[in-house]
Structure 1
Amino acid sequence: MLIAKKYNNENIALICALFAYGNVKAIIKLLESLDFSLLEASDEVIVKELSSHYYRFQNSQDITALFIVLKRLKQIDSIENIFYEGYKKEENVLDGLWNFITVIQELYLRKSRGYKFLIGSVPKKLNSAGTYKRYLMFLRWMVRSDEIDLGLWSKIDKKDLLMPLDTHTFKVSQKLGLLKRKTYDMKAVVELTETLKKFDKSDPIKYDFALYRLGQEKII
């Protein structure tokens, strides 16, 4: 998040969010090693400069693919506009996310497991969908504006955001009686978000950080 705040750029923030899994120190080490100016470079330069980079499930080709697809995306439209195209009809952020994933899959075809893990895929049914935590965290950064979140976007309403559910928040929410579902998936995300709307329907995921810290610090 600190690196995303430093640059205040939706493309760089998305890279930060997509690599936000695993050990925090390892995440920061990777992100600090990346030259984000490569998002303006040629494909050949991107391939050359990222040839020695890797992170957990992603090899250098996977990281290169992400930079190239985001560079190509910038030449077409903003990430916000692409999300908005899917979101605007029903004001559903998942429709926006599915549209975004579809667009980037079409811009750069790569079928490695590492790349698929990084960018995700459109689920056949919502019932079979994971939590998409990294993307929902990115949306929180972009849409909400406070001392934590960046607030770079204006087209998506924060009332429509969904909880970026990680395992800490999942367990704490169950213990607090905010979440009944036992499975860590998108249905749990939707259920928890609906519960939090009872406290503030205009900004339900403002409670994300507090719930996360309760779990992280093992207070509950």
Structure 2
Amino acid sequence: MINKQRQKLQKLLDTHYTLRNTENELNQDNPDPLLVAKPYQQNPHFAEIALICALLSYGNAKMIVKLLQSLDFELLTRGIDRIQKANFPHYRFQTREDIQGLFMLIKILLESGGLFKCFMQGYECYTYKWDKSHNSHHAKILSGIYHCIDTLYLLAKTHKIPITQGLKFLLGSSHSSYLLKHHSLPHNVSCLKRWNMLLRWLIRKDRLDVGIWDSHLHPSSLILPLDTHTFRICRKLGILQRKSYDLSAALEATDTLALFNPNDPIAYDFALYRLGQNGIL
């Protein structure tokens, strides 16, 4: 990328970051799942509430927000029996039982030490060389995510919670064993958009993101939560050359964004998402 193009792109990214970095950006007319999660930021179980919100965040933004607003997150403070007796909505690929199963898993995760403890166990265990991106901490982030996915599947098996196709879709797939063995990734794996979006909420801190983990983890480690909107926009702006929508693309786009803001490359995520969502470019 030549200097003139880079300067022009830097100005565009910084302008739209400033434009979008306001709490007024989260509203019913311009919906985003963070609109539902953020009011719980003082809740001691915010990370777990945010996890549920993130994992259910696929499809139409208005429908996502409508679904999340219908959920009773206070159930996480009650016993498993209350969750088993509660009524849950269905959503696209998930039956009521799938969403109930998700709540039960997150409740059990809370009783096992919570999301932060689980993530850090995976994050800290990766100490090998890494060459899939310019940032060695990306492997640690992926190791943390995969460990959380592995743990949730193990908890489901231990507590006899059925792993349906709907629940599998929500949790995602782990490649932790491949990562540890090869210090790399298998070809064309999931970009983990919903998990990386969750970490953006939890680690970054500005007028949008909450940053309750910011004293333990640094925003420079984050991976872009690549979705179809940001993938298309990143390709159009020259941030991304890769043609496949996968984790390698997310890593490449993150490396490019780090040229503009090495300490916080994912600061531009929400602005890129809105550019794609609103069809501005």
> Is TM > 0.5 for Structure 1 vs Structure 2?
yes
What is the 5 A alignment of 1:161-176? 161-176=222-237
Question: Does the residue aligned with 2:267 lie in a helix, a strand or coil?
Answer: helix
Provide structure 2 residue ranges, at least 5 long, that are not aligned to the other structure.
Answer: 1-33, 128-136, 179-184
Identical pairs, percent = 45
Q: Look up the match of 1:149.
A: 209
Confirm or deny that 1:120 pairs with 2:120: no
Q: Look up the match of 2:28.
A: none
2:153 to 105, 130, 134: 105
Larger Rg: 1 or 2? Answer: 2
Q: Look up the match of 1:194.
A: 255
Q: 1:201: Cα distance to partner?
A: 1.4
Instruction: Report the Cα distance in structure 1 between the residues aligned to 2:278 and 2:191, rounded to whole angstroms.
Output: 22
Confirm or deny that 1:72 pairs with 2:130: no
Instruction: Report the Cα distance in structure 2 between the residues aligned to 1:33 and 1:174, rounded to whole angstroms.
Output: 36
Instruction: Report the Cα distance in structure 1 between the residues aligned to 2:253 and 2:91, rounded to whole angstroms.
Output: 31
2:83 to 19, 38, 46: 46
1:2 to 23, 28, 35: 35
Q: Which amino acid aligns with 1:2?
A: L
Q: Deviations over 1:68-113 (max 9, x none)?
A: 1111111111211211111124442000001111111111133211
Judge conservation of contact 1:126–1:186 (CA < 8 Å) in 2: no
Q: Deviations over 1:180-204 (max 9, x none)?
A: 0000000100000111111121111
Q: 1:165: Cα distance to partner?
A: 0.5
Q: Look up the match of 2:190.
A: 130
Judge conservation of contact 1:84–1:156 (CA < 8 Å) in 2: no
TM-score normalized by the length of structure 1: 0.94
Instruction: Report the Cα distance in structure 2 between the residues aligned to 1:33 and 1:215, rounded to whole angstroms.
Output: 27
Instruction: Report the Cα distance in structure 2 between the residues aligned to 1:204 and 1:127, rounded to whole angstroms.
Output: 24
**Structure 1 range deviating more: 161-170 or 82-91:** 82-91
Instruction: Report the Cα distance in structure 1 between the residues aligned to 2:218 and 2:121, rounded to whole angstroms.
Output: 14
Q: Look up the match of 1:58.
A: 94
Instruction: Report the Cα distance in structure 2 between the residues aligned to 1:172 and 1:25, rounded to whole angstroms.
Output: 21
Question: Does the residue aligned with 1:111 lie in a helix, a strand or coil?
Answer: coil
Q: Indicate the structure whose relative CO is greater, using CA pairs within 8 Å and at least 6 residues apart.
A: 2
Q: Please report the RMSD computed on the Cα atoms of aligned residues, expressed in angstroms.
A: 1.4
Change (3 A) 1:126 1:207: farther
Q: Deviations over 1:5-42 (max 9, x none)?
A: 11111111111111111122221222111111111222
Q: Which amino acid aligns with 1:121?
A: S
Instruction: Report the Cα distance in structure 2 between the residues aligned to 1:30 and 1:216, rounded to whole angstroms.
Output: 19
Provide structure 1 residue ranges, at least 5 long, that are not aligned to the other structure.
Answer: none
1:20 to 57, 63, 68: 57
Question: Does the residue aligned with 1:85 lie in a helix, a strand or coil?
Answer: helix
Judge conservation of contact 1:12–1:36 (CA < 8 Å) in 2: yes
Q: How many residues align?
A: 219
Instruction: Report the Cα distance in structure 2 between the residues aligned to 1:126 and 1:193, rounded to whole angstroms.
Output: 19
Q: Which amino acid aligns with 2:49?
A: I
Instruction: Report the Cα distance in structure 2 between the residues aligned to 1:126 and 1:199, rounded to whole angstroms.
Output: 29
Confirm or deny that 1:181 pairs with 2:242: yes
Change (3 A) 1:171 1:148: same
Runs of 4+ in 1 over 4 A off after TM superposition: none
Instruction: Report the Cα distance in structure 2 between the residues aligned to 1:173 and 1:34, rounded to whole angstroms.
Output: 33
